Amino acid sequence: MSDKNRSAGQATEVVAQAKGIWSRHSRQIITAAIAAVVLIGGYLAYLNLYQLPNEEKAREEIFQAEMDFRRDSLSLALNGNGKTPGFLKVISKYGSTPTGNIARLYAGECYLHLGDFKNAAKQLEDFSDHGAHQLGAKAAGLLGDAYSELKENDKAVTQYRKAASLFEDDPALSSEYLFRAGLLLELSGKSDEAANAYQELWKKFPRTEKGFLAEKYLARLGAKVD
């Protein structure tokens, strides 16, 4: 058989197999297709009839809390005043929306500055950056601060390193959190790990304020700059 005839035969066999599958399983295939359409339609209905309106309401309700936050009225921003909701109310009503998620970041920072480190950690752990790595770096750094205050140093270092790596396009932010990781490791008696953090700081962010300090801290540990 020639190659041309062999290819034609193979093509015919594939078509026949496809027809066979369709004839044997057409009902299941149609049912699955209808189910997919229903699921997609249900999702779109959920999105348009529930999620999007809730997102609009969340944006309206978070406005005053954000204003209070900028004025450093942190308790008011967190709890509201009875007439306007605070971040906690926005989270409880609209936590599944993007704005409700942002409210968790705000709430975590409020709790952190108010000295309630457990609740700060809880809110920040529940926050998701959804690919917005600059916000993710901010949240990870704040979570590192909360863990540090709770004396959970290993967790704090992990979050500081995460914060330093998520958005290196902001060298000031990244170098700050990498420095905090090194300093906390040093204070925890983990000199070798601290030296590694300072080395990384010096190599990646030499022109930042904390990058300039890296050589000094390495010298203090008796380590050389590589």
Mean pLDDT split into 10-residue runs, the chain, 226 residues? 45 41 41 41 43 81 93 96 93 90 94 97 94 91 96 97 94 95 95 95 94 91 77
CA atoms within 13 A on the CB side of 10: 7
CA distance 163 to 138: 7
**pLDDT (0 to 100) of residue 129:** 87
Tell me the pTM: 0.76
CB atoms within 10 A of CB 128: 14
Rounded to a whole number of angstroms, the CA Rg of the chain reads 27
Domain ranges of the chain: 151-226
Q: What is the pLDDT of residue 187?
A: 93
For 75, how many CA atoms within 13 A lie in the half-sphere containing its CB?
3
Please answer whether residues 195 and 218 qualify as being in contact, where contact means their C-beta atoms are separated by less than 8 angstroms.
yes
The Cβ of residue 193 has, within 10 Å, a number of other Cβ atoms equal to: 16
Taking Cα atoms as reference points, which of 78, 62, 67, 153 lies closest to residue 114?
78
Q: Which CATH class is domain 151-226?
A: mainly alpha
d(CA 157, CA 130): 22
Compute the residue count for the chain: 226
d(CA 60, CA 161): 35
